[in-house]
Structure 1
Amino acid sequence: MTDSQHPTNTTTGPEDADAPLHRRGIKSYVIRAGRMTPAQTRGLEVVWPRLGLTIADGRQDLDALFGRQAPRVVEIGFGMGNSLIEQAERHPDTDFIGIEVHAPGVGKLLDEADKRGLTNLCVYREDALAVLEQCIPEASLTTVQLFFPDPWPKKKHHKRRIVQPAFVELIRTRLKPGGTFHMATDWEAYAEWMAEVMQAAPGYASTASQETAPYVPRPTFRPLTKFEARGEKLGHGVWDLIYRREDETC
């Protein structure tokens, strides 16, 4: 389960779509301290110069970055990176960009990517909103993934949830027409929140069937994490929501 992209006033519902994405003092994540293993340290020190990106690098030409034209996937808050590594290894014809703020997870992913010889993966250790706004070109992504973000379950903390109207509108502008925004959560109340936000969001269409709407069965292309597998054994639910950008202009 990822914690990286995990908003206090009296309003507890989703914000308006034109609300500012950056408000000082309100973050959708908390950076937690953690010990670094030798492999994680190696990833940050040795592999980062090759696969790491920063906001200071500016807006990317993704074809130039990866040296080819290919489907492009951004995963926000990849945690320790197991799912993202598996996807990048399983789909060498797709390019992946991971965004995560926690050093141990970034280090682990970089170390694994290097050991497996992956060349279709780059990483930001930055705030996801800033990366999307400043670094990712409009209409450039095939998919944006947000798996198991921090649900901020307390009512007074709901405004810290990353899924807000302004956020999903930003995602829409970065998706190609026909591109998809895929969310997954193990908190039913957060799944309902996500569905409420997406139902009101312009320019999206749910991919769920009438029988399962607003949710979709767990797609086989989303790797099953150890956390999720353990939860399934305990009878915990997981809700997947996939929405397609359906308009032709940003």
Structure 2
Amino acid sequence: MVKEPIQLIYFQLIIICFLIYPSLGYGQLLDLDYAKQKREESSFKAYFIRSGIISVSSSKHIDVTAELSKLKYITKSGINLDLTIYGTETIWKGNRSDQLNTFDFLMNPIGGVLNGSFFCNYPIKNSEFFNTRLSIGFGKKWIQGPDLPNFKSSFFDNYVRLGFIYQKNLIEDPLTNSSLYFWTFPSLIGHQLNQENRIQFFNNQLNPFSYGYSLELGLEYNTQLKITLIGQRLLNTDPNGEFGLLVARLIIAYRF
């Protein structure tokens, strides 16, 4: 009976730490909005250990991620506010370059030993078959890089994401309680690192504020199984260098 309150306090402390740490504040799996009409009242929900996730990237990484906690508030007008914390562990690295391995952590929207993000989705149009929303997200991730001199092996990445969400209902059968949704999420992305971390982990090849674009496509079956394909690229870096290439990632998530 004592264990659950202790865990709750632990997660709350993590959330508070991410909020008070200075950040620029994009990282979170997209939560679909299934409402087809205006809500009668606002709602607030808290989830803990809700999803298990595995992802494979073009940088030859295989990662496993847990959605540790999510606080979700939806207003009567349909505005979604989400605060989410992820924890990610890389189980296989097929790349021998420490810089590229660390760059993959940076470009993983749910990557990092701990990743705290805040998302706001503003509804533009709701209909029976599709929804459109404007979305902005920002947050901070703690990334564990290679061991460096003076025991320096980790750093923080501040990130931001702004885009447009199109969500379509492909199948919905109340008799069998089954559904299939498709979405696409083109967005602009940004990452901010201090000078010391840019020099130590990326050989000073990244700008203080690196920006680019992201395109996300996904399917969600029965609100439990989610398959996402994301392509991301930074624009204000050397297009022929290691960090100017498109990074693609396949993410499979199962909600418990």
Q: TM-score, normalised by structure 2?
A: 0.28
Tell me: higher relative CO, structure 1 or 2? Use CA pairs within 8 A at least 6 residues apart.
1
Relative to its length, the structure with more helix (as a share) is 1
Relative to its length, the structure with more strand (as a share) is 2
State which structure, 1 or 2, has the greater radius of gyration over its C-alpha atoms: 2
Q: TM-score, normalised by structure 1?
A: 0.29
